[in-house]
Amino acid sequence: MSFMDQYKRIIVSFNKHQVDDVVIGGMAVNYHGYSRSTMDMDNWVL
């Protein structure tokens, strides 16, 4: 299973269980159009 597949499974699980979280770090930077090489996932659970 790829990193992105694992990431998607975690996000789907968070949503299913109504866990409030925020994506931070490199993945958030990439989402906003900036290139940052990262191989980890940073989430802040509220």
**pLDDT tens digit sequence for 1-46:** 888 899 899 999 999 999 999 999 888 888 888 888 877 789 999 9
Residue 26, pLDDT score: 85
Considering the entire predicted model, what is its pTM?
0.70
Burial class of residue 26 in the structure, from the number of CB atoms within 10 Å of its CB (0-12 exposed, 13-18 middle, 19+ buried) = middle
Domain that holds residue 14: 3-45
Q: What is the 3-state secondary structure (H, E, C) of the chain?
A: CCHHHHHHHHHHHHHHCCCCEEEECHHHHHHCCCCCCCCCCEEEEC
- Cα pseudo-dihedral 3, 11, 8, 10, rounded to 10: 50
- Which tokens belong to 22? 């925020």
What's the total number of domains in the chain? 1
